[in-house]
Every structure is written in C-alpha cells, then in structure tokens.
C-alpha cells in the first residue's frame, strides 16, 4: 500500500498545456540507524524516527510487531530509540508517527544485522528506468545508516563509477546517462569493507520516450450521435509532462483538464468521425524529444440513417454453459464497413468491440462466458467514407449465462515460512477482467487491488508481516459492471511466519 498522501491542490480544473501542476504532502516518516562508532556500527547507537510534522506519539516496530511506544511531553519531529543498552538488536525495523486522529503509514524498512556485515542498500530509478535525449534519469541509493559513503557500480565495469558522501543524510542521488545494469553499495568508514550490493536496476536507452495510452474516458467507448461530445484520456508513464492530441497529422487545440500530473483529459465537444486520434507527451525542458505516439483510436459516429444490420448468435442457444465460446455475427447490406457490437447498459449503450471488415459481415467472439456476459447485444455499422453515415441498431439478441462467477486461484509468491518483517505477496488470478480483487482472512477483507481495465491477476501484499499475520488466506473478486457481482472465494493458502 502506498504512503498516505494529502492533496493540497485539487486537480480537475480546466488546464492549459503549460499549467498542469499539483502539490502533495508526504506524511510517511523516515527511519535510520545512528552509529556512535563507525568501525562497529551495530555496537553502539540508536534508531531515529523522523516525522514530517511535529507530533507527541511515535511507535517502533521490530519484525512486524510493536517494539516500543513513546508519548512525548512536547511535540517533536524526531524520536531516538535506544535498544539493548545502546546495542542495536538484529531485526527488521519500521516506525510510524501519530498525526491528527490517525497513525501514518509505516516508514521505510531498516535492517539491523548485529554483525560486522552490512545489509544491502536499496536502489531505484527516478523518474523512469530509461534515458532519452534531454531526460536526466537518476538512481537513488538509500542505506539504513546515516552519513555513510555510497558507491555506484555498473555491470561490466571494473571500478566503481562514482563515490559520494551522504554526510547527514541516508541516501544519495546518482545521475546516469548510459544504459546498463546498475547497483550500489555503502561503507561506514574509509578502511571498511563495502556492504552487500543492492538489487540491480536496469537502465535502457531509448531514442524517444515510450508511447502513452489513449482511451475513452472511463474506458467506455460509445456510439456517438453527430454533434455529441466525448472525452479522451491520455496517460504517460511519468509525471511533469506536457501533452498533445493529434488527428490525421494535425494537433488539436481542445479544452483539457487533469486529476494527476501523469494524465490529461481532452474534451472533444463536436468531434469529427473516424480518426485516427493519437496523443503524445514530452518533458517540460527545452530540447526534450516527444514520445512515440499512442496506439490510435477511432470514434464511432452513427446518424442511424442506413438500414439496420442483422445479428445472430453461434451456437444459436442463447443460454450457453459458463466457460463456453459464443460468436455473434453482424451482417450488413454491403462490404467495406466498420462494425460495432453494442452492449445495453443501465446508463447508456457501450461498445463491446469494433471491427473493420472487407466482407459484408463481422464476427465478434465472447470467449469463456460467465454470468457477467448476460445482456442484450445489438450491432451497428458505419461507413468509413464521407459523409460517414451510420446504421440503425440491429434487433437485440439476449444472452443469458447462468451460474456463479468462476472461482479465482490464489498463489503465494514465497516458499516455506516468511521471515518476520518481510512482505508476503499473494497473487490472485481470475478469467474475468476489469475486477477488484480482495484478500480475505476468516471472511474479512484485509487487502484489495484492481479496478477498471485491470488484468486477469493482481498481487495482494501483506506488508511487514509479524506473528499476528499467520493464518489461512483466500481471495475473491468483485465486479460492479454491468451489475454488482461477487465471486466465490478461492481455495485457502496458509501463511506461516518464521518464529511465530
């Protein structure tokens, strides 16, 4: 689960191309070890928890369990925890602070080995794991100790690429300009042996930033009437960029808005039919390259003036067994048209799929049908040539699939018992897309993930497990579209925490 964030500036106002910005406050505290003797960092020292805002209450966790709770007489942003008469006891530590009426998210993880060896640091790429002309990609190396010396290395090089002092910090930023597989280490004093290396981070070199994703707003493609408006969403893989919308080789200057710094909504008040529409982005720095274009999308506009097509099901049985394949055939008066299969919804009809066909018909497939596919279906066709006329809808075909939703499968991504203080990741899989996955323990939801446009699986994370997390877990999924549905629970998976 991501750290708790509070938005100080509400997104969603009308934005120009150069005014997409927001301010966020991070409330997750920081935790690090303070060594009194660098030659033996675990012999004498303490753990320091630093909150973003002053507070009177701090908690320290060890191996997933509360180790110490402190209430201060006066508010402070820092609390020093002395352990074992000044000796740092081996374990996996995190802390949190009380802000307002609730506790913050847990801090970063600090591993104390209690031996001469130093645990590895962490390494991450910011803002993205690739380099392009004009983009300053950075590698952030973080250690559990403050004031250490960091060493950056790249696979295939004999020497360290860069050495940097952290002074009073626990991390440093290395700028990288070349592709490669990077890792970092640290040492507490000049004569000391470096720590174990961090996990490797691969940096790729790209001629242009990768393409964004362009979709219809709410992922619902609709058949539009001439003159009706539609909103297109463009999402980039990084924040702080400017966007453009294009159609037929021409940039469209249309109203736009945003809810986060990595996406923009283009409002097409009276869009032209067809397309294709694409979007792209670039960083807000002179000389930076535009990204590759998004996959194109086309708008379906139908004035309903052309004769209606005919829609039929194959097999003809309109109550198919769950898991079977259903084909819906749409037949028009002539060839060279674009077809759309439309599913009736409570609010408005939605396009379930669209196809161009050189024949006078199109075949739509519904694989692995379930109760969620039960609905009235119709089809329309549009002429891709001016004046872009479209047909009336076909007579509806009502498809009814009985029975429960397919049960999901739950897979643990670990072997044996999980070390106390580590994360336990469980993967929930289903054959039904666009659902929300829930992790259950004794019938109660403990974690959830997913949503519209989500794939056939999701990783559900139990963060920083302790003995209290031992037990049996199962998962299920929910769908709110087109009607609220809930699957049965998966077979259970037992979580064992070492030492519990």
10 & 102 share domain = yes
- Using DSSP bridges, classify how beta strands 30-35 and 14-15 pair: parallel, antiparallel or unpaired: unpaired
491 & 428 share domain = yes
The DSSP output letter for 200 is P
Q: What pLDDT is recorded for position 144?
A: 93
Say if 404 falls within a structural domain.
no
> What is the number of domains present in the chain?
5
Which domain-ending residue is among 186, 205, 224? Answer: 205
453 & 469 share domain = yes
Say if 87 falls within a structural domain.
yes
The Cα–Cα gap between 151 and 325 comes to 57
154 & 197 share domain = yes
Instruction: Using CA atoms of 157, 158, 162, 167 in order, give the dihedral in degrees to the nearest 10.
Output: 140
Q: What pLDDT is recorded for position 270?
A: 77
Supply 132's token pair.
Answer: 């392009």
Longest dimension (CA), the chain: 87
Which domain-ending residue is among 171, 205, 239? Answer: 205
The DSSP output letter for 430 is -
Cα 415-417-419 angle, rounded to 5 deg: 110
CATH number for the domain that contains residue 133? 2.60.40.10
257 & 322 share domain = no
Q: What pLDDT is recorded for position 479?
A: 83
Q: What pLDDT is recorded for position 127?
A: 86
168: containing domain: 122-205
Say if 302 falls within a structural domain.
no
- Per residue of the chain (500 residues), give pLDDT as tens: 333 332 222 233 334 433 333 344 678 999 999 887 777 788 778 899 999 999 999 999 999 999 999 999 999 999 999 876 667 788 999 999 999 889 999 999 999 987 778 899 999 999 889 998 877 799 999 999 998 999 999 999 989 999 999 988 999 999 999 999 999 999 998 888 899 999 999 999 998 899 999 988 765 567 788 778 889 999 998 888 999 999 988 999 999 999 888 999 999 987 876 678 999 999 887 778 899 999 998 888 888 999 999 999 998 889 999 989 999 999 999 999 999 999 887 666 788 888 989 999 999 999 989 888 899 999 999 988 877 889 999 999 999 999 888 899 999 999 999 999 999 999 999 888 778 999 999 889 999 886 555 568 899 999 999 999 999 999 999 987 667 889 999 999 999 999 76
Supply 363's token pair.
Answer: 């075949």
pLDDT tens for 341-360 read 998 876 667 888 889 899 99
Supply 205's token pair.
Answer: 């070199």
126 & 106 share domain = no
180 & 134 share domain = yes
108 & 141 share domain = no
230 & 201 share domain = no
Contact 51, 78 (CB under 8 A): yes
Q: What pLDDT is recorded for position 230?
A: 87
Contact 88, 33 (CB under 8 A): yes
Cα 50-98-56 angle, rounded to 5 deg: 75
Which domain-ending residue is among 205, 223, 257? Answer: 205
Closest to 340 (Cα-Cα) out of 273, 279, 252: 273
The Cα–Cα gap between 38 and 57 comes to 30
Q: What pLDDT is recorded for position 204?
A: 94
Q: 396 by DSSP, 3-state: which? A: coil
Say if 41 falls within a structural domain.
yes
364 & 430 share domain = no
Q: What pLDDT is recorded for position 22?
A: 39
Say if 300 falls within a structural domain.
no
The Cα–Cα gap between 87 and 42 comes to 6
324 & 383 share domain = yes
3-state helix, strand, coil in the chain (%, to 5): 0, 50, 50
432 & 464 share domain = yes
């Amino acid at each position: 689960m991501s750290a708790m964030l509070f938005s100080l500036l509400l997104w969603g106002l009308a934005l120009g191309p150069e005014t997409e910005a927001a301010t966020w406050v991070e409330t997750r505290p920081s935790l690090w070890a303070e060594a009194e003797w660098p030659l033996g960092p675990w012999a004498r020292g303490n753990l320091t928890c630093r909150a973003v805002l002053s507070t009177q209450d701090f908690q320290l966790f060890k191996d997933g369990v509360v180790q110490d709770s402190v209430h201060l007489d006066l508010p402070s942003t820092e609390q020093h925890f002395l352990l074992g008469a000044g000796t740092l006891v081996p374990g996996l530590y995190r802390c949190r602070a009380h802000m307002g009426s609730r506790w913050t998210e847990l801090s970063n993880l600090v591993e104390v080995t209690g031996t001469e060896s130093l645990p590895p640091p962490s390494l991450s790429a910011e803002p993205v794991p690739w380099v392009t002309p004009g983009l300053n990609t950075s590698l952030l190396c973080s250690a559990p100790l403050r004031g250490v010396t960091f060493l950056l290395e790249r696979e295939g090089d004999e020497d360290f690429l860069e050495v940097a002092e952290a002074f009073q910090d626990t991390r440093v930023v290395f700028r990288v300009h070349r592709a490669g597989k990077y890792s970092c280490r640290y040492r507490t004093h000049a004569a000391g042996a470096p720590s174990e290396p961090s996990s490797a981070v691969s940096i790729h070199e790209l001629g242009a930033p990768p393409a964004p994703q362009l979709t219809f707003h709410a992922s619902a493609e609709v058949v539009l009437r001439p003159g009706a408006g539609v909103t297109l969403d463009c999402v980039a893989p990084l924040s702080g960029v400017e966007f453009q919308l294009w159609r037929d080789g021409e940039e469209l200057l249309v109203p736009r808005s945003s809810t986060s710094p990595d996406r923009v909504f283009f409002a097409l008040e009276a869009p032209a039919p067809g397309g294709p529409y694409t979007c792209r982005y670039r960083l807000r720095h002179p000389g930076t390259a535009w990204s590759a274009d998004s996959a194109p999308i086309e708008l379906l506009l139908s004035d309903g003036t052309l004769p209606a097509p005919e829609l039929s099901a194959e097999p003809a049985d309109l109550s198919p067994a769950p898991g079977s394949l259903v084909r819906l055939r749409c037949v028009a008066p002539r060839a060279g048209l674009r077809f759309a299969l439309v599913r009736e919804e409570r609010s408005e009809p939605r396009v379930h799929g669209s196809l161009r066909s050189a024949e006078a018909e199109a075949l739509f497939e519904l694989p692995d049908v379930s109760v969620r596919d039960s609905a009235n279906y119709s089809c329309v066709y549009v002429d891709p040539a001016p004046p872009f006329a479209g047909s009336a809808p076909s007579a509806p075909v009502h498809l009814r699939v009985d029975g429960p939703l397919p049960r999901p499968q739950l897979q643990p991504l670990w072997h044996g018992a999980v070390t106390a203080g580590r994360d336990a990741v469980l993967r929930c899989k289903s054959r039904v897309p666009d659902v929300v996955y829930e992790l259950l323990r004794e019938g109660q939801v403990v974690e959830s993930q997913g949503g519209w446009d989500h794939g056939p699986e999701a990783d559900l994370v139990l963060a920083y497990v302790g003995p209290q997390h031992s037990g049996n877990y199962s998962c299920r999924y929910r769908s709110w579209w087109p009607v609220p549905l809930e699957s049965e629970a998966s077979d259970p998976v037992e979580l064992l925490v070492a030492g519990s």
